[in-house]
Structure 1
């Protein structure tokens, strides 16, 4: 029932425990940082942020089911398991599949909405909405098939004790994984054109492209998972399915992590700003969008700045002895083109408008 006769996990099961624990920490950390980044910007959460939180809940469900699967025969040879254990494994696999089927489209929807918000041009909006329609159709088709893969439904995990019919499992899940990989690739290339159309230095274009192409990690995971699904043997499914179980959790958890990374730029800028204070610079807060406040911290005061998206500098009231790094933004959104102007006010008897 998941443990060897000595009361320990075998090698495969121990790998699941360690890797799955790391995945839980990574996914929770990524979403927490995403929410913190919004607070640094002085913003509420966008729709894609709420979807990311929902995706986290689903991915944690996959993680929990993976832990539970260790007590349902995963990592053991099926001929050593009781009928009750095999049924527990089959039920675990069924529920995990439904969680995964929902988690991945939610992650991708959050990414598409993010693209649509930071690249609000007609061609990108049309492309994003087309992808959203495809994701909706994909989810309805495969989730419905997954739910009713056996008739009656409970025959899926009670094959030895009930009568019923089921579709071929391995061809179904490999088709599901292959089409999922196609959408991964689509999301990978979707923002590339818009990034390279930006009027920014070539090196910065490469940097932004690198952020968006982090999705290639998820593509690679999808390929590995697909290979493991193809290798499943129905004659010893609890043993041969061990790593596909694990890669299912890896894909959902790292999908959440990767989807959050582009939204963490405010934290990166905060770290850089704090580093600049060692050179006598001030801490420049990170605001975004018209009417959103940012903050400038000088040696003697905390001043609120009206931080507008514009091609000219903002106006800031500073006290004597304080400094300000002014940010000139050329595009709204999480990805910003910024010109930084450092300003220092010498000691006087009055405040100065800059």
Structure 2
């Protein structure tokens, strides 16, 4: 038994208190830093940034429900609980499903919009829109099923006092988790083709791939959560559901964190530049016509659908000196600089918040 601020819990429940508290700090910090990174670049927030804030609110709701579940019998054997406590657990589980079902598609929509913005080529735009349609269909299908899994709805948490019927819960949540894992894998491989088409050195290509495959963390969590869902026993659901409850919160919170990580590179560069200044080294860019501003505030570039220039809304055209045949443009993605050869002209971009 362990003593917490809210009472005396067994080992399983204490694990939930500690891990869930860490998740709250991580998710809130990630979104705060994401917004700060945009400010460092002097950029407005993009649609995906606003979606990350919405996803954070939904993830925090899942965290709050996980905390509340400790007082609804999670981590206790069901035969030791009162009928009222079991009813409270059932309502808690129902609400957590609805928030989790909404949080994950919002996170994924944020990621897809991010991909579409930094890889604005026809094939990627088509793929991203197809994924968005799939996410919308997935959400409507599973959220509708989750809401009406019992008829009447309140029979879900009042089975002993009302008459009604419900779908088989465990197969439903396993199907939901399995299809969610499929979308995780899809988002993981979606940008791979565009990354490996870039004409950049192998070390940079590998580094860039690592940035875009951080979602493997969420895929792993989805697999672990799926395993825990399969292990749920209807005969002692409040005990057997303990870790699937916890992994639900882990998946939603770390989903928010992972979706924010690529956008935090301006902060990494800020820390790096400060270290360089302390060591007496210059953080200026080479004298090749590029900016001498610190790297964390330099304007990024966004590839146009046209192959001969880099574009941005409301920007002005500037010509580089040198060969009239081609120029080298640095398109920043995080702390990795991709050098893309293009023809004739460059427009400074203020609309893209992701650098390489």
User: Which residue of structure 2 aligns with residue 102 of structure 1?
Assistant: 102
> Gaps spanning 5+ residues in structure 2: where?
284-293, 302-314, 322-327, 340-356
How big is the shift at 1:265?
A: 1.3
Cα displacement (A) at 1:247:
0.2
Q: Which runs of 5+ in 1 are unaligned?
A: 291-306, 314-327, 340-354
CA distance, structure 2, for counterparts of residue 120 and residue 142 of structure 1: 31
* 1:238 alignment counterpart: 238
| Closer/same/farther in 2, CA of residues 149 and 215 from structure 1, 3 Å limit | same
CA–CA distance in structure 2, aligned partners of residues 88 and 115 of structure 1: 41
Q: Would the alpha carbon gap of residues 37 and 180 (structure 1) be closer, same or farther in structure 2, given more than 3 Å must change?
A: same
**TM-score, with length taken from structure 2:** 0.82
Contact 2:155 2:162 survives alignment (8 Å): yes
Partner-residue secondary structure (3-state), 2:9: coil
What is the alpha-carbon root mean square deviation over aligned residues? 2.4
Q: Are the aligned partners of 1:42 and 1:287 in contact in 2 as well (CA < 8 Å)?
A: no
CA change 1:265–1:213 in 2 (3 A) is same
1:204 corresponding residue in structure 2: 204
**1:288 and 2:289 correspond:** no
* Other-structure match for 2:280: 279
Query: CA, structure 1 residues 3+281, in 2 after alignment: closer, same or farther (shift >3 Å)?
Result: closer
Match of 1:37 in 2: 37
Structure 1 residue 55 corresponds to structure 2 residue 55: yes
Question: Within 1, Cα distance between the matches of 2:240 and 2:247?
Answer: 13
Report SS of the residue matched to 2:213. Answer: helix
C-alpha separation between the residues in 1 aligned to 2:23 and 2:85? 26
Q: Do 1:34 and 1:260's aligned partners in 2 also have CA atoms closer than 8 Å? A: yes
Please report how far the alpha carbon of residue 276 of structure 1 lies from its aligned counterpart in structure 2 after TM superposition: 1.9
Please name the residue that 1:129 is paired with: 129
Q: What whole-Å deviation, never above 9, does each CA across 1:146-197 have from its counterpart, x for those lacking one?
A: 0000000000000011000000000000000000000000000000111111
CA distance in structure 2 between the partners assigned to 1:203 and 1:272 by the alignment:
20
Distance 1:51 1:309, change over 3 A: farther
Q: CA deviation at 1:280?
A: 3.4
Distance 2:316 2:245 in 1: 48
CA, structure 1 residues 161+311, in 2 after alignment: closer, same or farther (shift >3 Å)?
farther
Shift of the 192–335 alpha-carbon distance from structure 1 to 2, 3 Å rule, reads farther
Work out the CA distance in 2 between the residues paired with 1:138 and 1:39: 34
Tell me if the contact between 1:309 and 1:331 (Cα under 8 Å) persists in the aligned partners.
no
Equivalent pair of 2:200/2:338 in contact (CA under 8 Å): no
Residue 226 of structure 2: aligned partner = 226
1:102/1:139 contact within 8 Å kept: yes
SS at match of 1:65: helix
Q: Taking structure 1 as the reference length, what is the TM-score of the superposition?
A: 0.82
Q: Which has the larger radius of gyration?
A: 1
How far, CA to CA, are the matches of 2:177 and 2:85 in structure 1?
27
**Match of residue 343 from structure 1:** none
Q: Deviations over 1:61-86 (max 9, x none)?
A: 00000000000000000111111100
Q: Matches of 2:152 and 2:67 in 1, distance apart?
A: 27
Alignment check: 8 A CA contact 2:266 2:297 kept: yes
TM-superposition CA deviations, 1:237-270 (whole Å, max 9, x none): 0000000000000000000000001111111222
Aligned to 1:351: none
Q: CA deviation at 1:331?
A: 2.8
| CA distance 1:246–1:309, shift in 2 (3 Å) | farther
Closer, same or farther in 2 for the Cα pair 1:309/1:204, shift >3 Å? farther
Cα distance in 2 for partners of 1:109, 1:82 equals 41
